[in-house]
Amino acid sequence: MDFESLPLSGDVDVFGRRNSIRLEPDLWEALREIDLRKKRTMHDICPNIDKTRGGPRLTSAILIYVVSYCRSAANP
């Protein structure tokens, strides 16, 4: 078993509420890279993801956000 790829828990602030999410290390890293490019923090970005997510859980919505961001960056 590759322990480096197991999901890691982390907390994000969404409208003053602390939310625990679990993402694979590569997704945490991708989210941090997006934060750096946008010059914002995860705590700034996650409320926007939460507002627009519709039905999926916050963790799933973050995954969709990361994939969408990477796809749009790859196809300007």
SS3 state at 50? helix
The predicted structure's pLDDT at residue 26: 92
The predicted structure's pLDDT at residue 68: 94
Section 28-36 average pLDDT: 94
* Cα–Cα distance, 9 to 28 (Å, whole number): 10
| CB neighbour burial string for 14-49, b if at least 16 within 10 angstroms, e if fewer | beeeeeebebeeebbebbeebbeeeeeebeebbeeb
Average pLDDT of the chain is 89
- pTM, two decimals, is 0.83
The predicted structure's pLDDT at residue 56: 80
CB burial class (10 A; 0-12, 13-18, 19+) of residue 59? Answer: middle
Using one digit for the tens of pLDDT, what is the confidence trace for 3-29? 677 888 999 888 889 999 999 999 999
